[in-house]
Chain A
Amino acid sequence: MKESVASRTVFILLLFLTTSLLNGQSPPGKPEILKCRSPEKETFTCWWKPGDDGGLPTNYTLTYHKEGETLTHECPDYITSGPNSCYFNKKHTSIWTMYIITINATNQMGSSSSDPRYVDVTYIVEPDPPVNLTLELKQPEDKKPYLWMKWYPPTLVDVRSGWLTLQYEIRLKPKKATEWETHFAGQQTQFKILSLYPGQKYLVQVRCKPDHGFWSEWSPESSIQIPNDVTMKDTIVWIFVAVLSAVICLIMVVAVALKGHSMVTCILPPVPGPKIKGFDTHLLEKGKSEELLSALGCQDFPPTSDCEDLLVEFLEVDDSEDQQLMPAHPKEHPGQERKPTPLDPDSDSGRGSCDSPSLLSKKCEEARADPSAFNTPKSVEKPENPQTNVTYTWGSRSTSSEGKIPYFAAGGFKSSTWPLPQPPSQHSPRSSYHNIADVCKLNMGTAGASATLLDKTDTRALRSSKTTETGGEEKAAEQREVESFHSKTDQDTPWLLPQEKTPLISVRPLDYVEIHKVNKDGALSLLPKQKENSGQAEKPSTPEASKEYAKVSRVMDNNILVLVQEPRAQNLASFEEPAKEAAPSHQQNQAEEDLASFTSAPSGCGLQRAGLDYLDPTCFMHSFQ
C-alpha cells in the first residue's frame, strides 16, 4: 500500500512537470527598477522594467516604505506616468527621506520581487526643459545686429519661492553646421549672441539644471534667419563705383595711346644740358682761355688797368667775436683772388695786423697824449660803424679775428663772398691782439698796449668811428681809446680776455666796406655802407686820418700789402725780427723792411705811403707771435 502511494505521488508530480513544460508557463521573472526622477522636488516617479512574465499575465505592484517607518505602502498612482511606472504626488513625497521601493511581479505561477531601491528625492531632481524660447534679431543703429533670445523656466518648477534654483545653458548653430556652439547662461533667462554669420538660418536650444540635480533635456529647436549684410543700396553703389572706375581707366588708356609721347615729356622733362651765360663752349675747344674768362662776365668790374681799382674791394666789418676779416678780392683779379691763403691760412686769418698797426699806432699816439683821459668803454658800446675803423684794405688774405680788432670788423663768413679760413683755435686772434698790444707797448713804451685796450679796441674803434661820424670828437675818442689801450698795459692776462670778453660784446652785424679809392698820398678811403661820410670824414682829416690809414706802398705776390711806413715809426726794430721770422714766405726784403717799419710804431705807426702795395697780414701775425 505505501509503495503505491509513493509511486502515485511521483507519477502526479511527473504529470504536472510534463504539463507545465508543455505549456511554457513560469512564474514571472524579477522586475527591475529603472530610474526614479523628480521634476520639481515635490513629486517623483519611478519606472521599472518588467522581467520575464513566464507566459502568463503578470501583475506588477510597487511597494515601499519610508525611512523611520515600518508601514509598507503601495504605489498610489500607476497611471499618470505611463505603463510600468509609479507616480508619487506631493502628498506622498517627503524630501530628505529615504524611500525603500520594491517591485513585485505576480502571475499565476508565482511571483518575484525586485531588489529594493533606496531613493532620496533630494538627489533625483531632473526638471523639464525650459519653455517658450523666443528669438529676436535686434539691430541697433550704427552697430552690428545681434541675436537676443528669451525663455521661461519649466512650468512645474517653483523658482519664485526659491525652492529650486535653476541654471541655464543655450546652444546654437547654423542650420547646415554640424557642431553646436554652447553657452552657459547662469540664472538669467535671456541671452545675447553677437557673432553671427549673415545670411544664415540659426537653430537654438536651451536646457536647465537645478542647483543640486541633473540637467534637463534640450528644448525643442527654435530657428531664425539672419538677414544679409549687404543691402540693395550697397550693391548698387558698388556697381556704380566699378563702372566709373572702368570708364576712367578706359579714358586714361586712350589718352596715353594718343598722346603718349607728349605726356611722357610733360611728366618727365628732359634734363637740360649745362649752360653758362656768356660761356662759349667753342672757345674752350679752341683753347682760348683768356677770351673765355673774359666772357665770364666781368663787365661790371673796373678795368684791371686802373690801379686804383685794385684797391676797390669789399670788406666785411663786424666786431663780433667770430669776426673774420673778409677782404674783398679786387675784382680785377678774379683768377688770382681765389688763392686764399698762400702762406698759412690759419695763422693769418683776420689778424689784420697789417691794418691794425697803423690804426693802433694812431691810437697809441693819442693814448700817450692823453693817458689820463682813460675811461673804460664798455664792451657793449659798439658803435654802429665798424667800418670806419676798417680803413685798410687787406690783401686777398681773408682774416678772421675776434671782434675786438677794430680795423677789420669781419662779421660772420656767412655774408662774405669768400669763405674764410677759420682759425683753428681761438687763440690766434688772441695772439694777434697780444701782438698788437706788444706793438703798441713797444712803440709807446707805455703800458697802453694792453690787451684790454685791444679788447676795447673794437669798442674804441666803434666809438671812434662814432666820433668820426661826428667828426669833431674823433680825436677825443681816439684818445680815449688809446688811453684805455694804455691803461691796461700791465695786464697781460687781460690780453686773453678779449677772447673771454667777447661774450660781453654784442655781435654786430656784418658790414661791408667799400674802399672808395686811394688818395694820391696813399690814403684809403672807405665807403661804409651806411655812412658814406665816415670814410670821407676820415679823408678830410687827413692829418688825423692819415694816422688811421695806412698807405699801401706796394703789393707783393698779389696778396701782400706793403704799407708805407710813417716817419714816426720808431720801434720798428722790435717788430722787425719777429716779422722776419714770421714771414718765411715773403721773400722780399723790402717787404720785410716795410713790415718792420710798419710794426715798429704803434705810437708812430707810420706807414710808408709809397704807393700801392699789398701786405700779407700773415707776416704781421707771425711777428706778433
Chain B
Amino acid sequence: SDNTAGSLLLLLLLVSDLLLCQSVASLPICPSGAVNCQVSLRDLFDRAVILSHYIHNLSSEMFNEFDKRYAQGRGFITKAINSCHTSSLSTPEDKEQAQQIHHEDLLNLILRVLRSWNDPLYHLVTEVRGMQEAPDAILSRAIEIEEQNRRLLEGMEKIVGQVHPGIRENEVYSVWSGLPSLQMADEDTRLFAFYNLLHCLRRDSHKIDNYLKLLKCRIVYDSNC
C-alpha cells in the first residue's frame, strides 16, 4: 500500500504540474456578477481575438502552401463547392446578419464551430504526417493550429461562462466524415480531400475571427472600437 500511495502521490503531482503548465497562460476567472469582472472579460476577449487571428493566419498560409505545391492545374477549386462539413451550421453571411444575432447565440455558434473542428484537426495532423514528402511548413502549422484551437475553445468556454453562465447547451457540433477521403489510395482523391479540408478550415477560422472581433467590440468596447 505504501507503493501505491507513493505512486498515487507522484501521479497527482504530475497531473497538477501539467495542469499548472497549461494554466500558465490562462487568465484568472472572476465570479460572475462581480463588478471587476469586466476587466477580466476584456482580457479574455483580447486573448481570444489574438488566438483566432493567429489561427486564421496559419490556416491561410497552410492553404496557400498546399495549393501552390499540390493543387496546381487540378481544378480543385471548382469542386470545393459547398463541401464543408460545417455548412449545416447556420452562420451569418454578412455584417448585418452578424450584428442582428444576439451575442449569446453568436457565442454558442462560435463554440459549435470550434468543437466541430477538434476531430478534423486531429486527423489532419496524422494524415499530413503520412503524406509522402510531408512538407514541414504544412505539418508544423497543422500541429500549431490544433493546439491553438484547443486553447481557444477553453477560452471561449470561459467567456461563455461569464457572459451568460448557467445556460449550458448540449454540445452541438457538426460531425466530420471526411476521414476516409483523406486516406484514399487514389492520390487525386486524397489530395482533393486535403484541399477541401484546408479550404474549409481557412474559411471557418476566418468566420470565428470575425465573429469574435465583432463580439469584442460590442461587449467590451460598446461598439466603439
Contacts and interface: CB of A to CB of B under 8 A. Distances in A.
A351 to B, nearest CB: 85
Interface stretch (B21-29, B120-128, B157-165, B213-221): B213-221
Interface stretch (B3-11, B174-182, B188-196, B202-210): B202-210
B170 interface: no
A68 interface: yes
A94 B91 CA distance: 12
Interface in A151-191: 158-163, 165
Contacts of B98: 163
Given A161-B223, A162-B225, A165-B213, A96 B78 contact: no
Given A68-B81, A118-B78, A163-B214, A158 B95 contact: yes
Contact of B213 (A67, A68, A94, A162): A162
A94 B98 CA distance: 12
A512 B203 CA distance: 111
A165 B216 CA distance: 12
A158 B213 CA distance: 12
Given A118-B78, A212-B56, A163 B210 contact: yes
B16 interface: no
B94 A95 contact: yes
B18 to A, nearest CB: 34
Which of A41, A42, A93, A163 has its CB near the most chain B CB atoms (within 10 A)?
A: A163
B77 A96 contact: no
Interface string A60-102: 0000000110000000000000000000001001111110000
B225 A68 contact: no
B199 to A, nearest CB: 9
B207 to A, nearest CB: 6
B93 A96 contact: yes
A90 B95 CA distance: 9
A42 B95 contact: yes
- A-B complex: 10 closest residue pairs judged by Cβ atoms: A162-B217, A162-B213, A68-B82, A94-B93, A162-B214, A162-B225, A67-B81, A163-B95, A118-B77, A67-B82
A122 interface: yes
Interface in B67-98: 77-78, 81-82, 87, 91, 93-96, 98
B60 A212 contact: yes
Given A42-B94, A96-B207, A162-B225, 6 more contacts: A41-B95, A158-B95, A162-B218, A163-B95, A163-B210, A212-B206
Contacts of A159: 225
A162 B206 contact: no
A500 interface: no
Contacts of A90: 94, 96
26 contacts: A41-B95, A67-B81, A90-B94, A90-B96, A94-B93, A95-B210, A96-B91, A96-B203, A96-B206, A116-B78, A118-B77, A122-B203, A122-B206, A159-B225, A160-B223, A161-B95, A161-B218, A162-B213, A162-B214, A162-B218, A163-B95, A163-B98, A163-B210, A211-B209, A212-B206, A212-B209
Contact-residue size bin, chain B (C-beta under 8 Å from the other chain): 20 to 34
A332 B57 CA distance: 111
Contacts of B223: 160-161
B216 to A, nearest CB: 6
B53 interface: yes
Nearest to B220: A162
A206 to B, nearest CB: 19
B53 A97 contact: no
Which of B99, B210, B217 has its CB near the most chain A CB atoms (within 10 A)?
A: B210
B36 interface: no
A211 B205 CA distance: 13
A67 B203 CA distance: 13
Contact of B53 (A42, A67, A158, A211): A211
Which of B57, B87, B96, B213 has its CB near the most chain A CB atoms (within 10 A)?
A: B213
B224 interface: yes
Nearest to B213: A162
Interface string A94-123: 111110000000000000000010101010
A42 B82 CA distance: 21
Contacts of A120: 203
Contacts of A98: 81
Nearest to A158: B95
Contacts of A67: 81-82
Contacts of A94: 93-94
Contacts of B206: 96, 122, 212
A160 B93 CA distance: 19
Contacts of A97: 93
B213 A93 contact: no
Interface in A321-366: none
Nearest to B60: A212
Contacts of A158: 95
A161 B92 CA distance: 15
A80 to B, nearest CB: 19
B101 to A, nearest CB: 13
B200 to A, nearest CB: 11
Which of A68, A90, A161, A165 has its CB near the most chain B CB atoms (within 10 A)?
A: A161
A158 B95 CA distance: 10
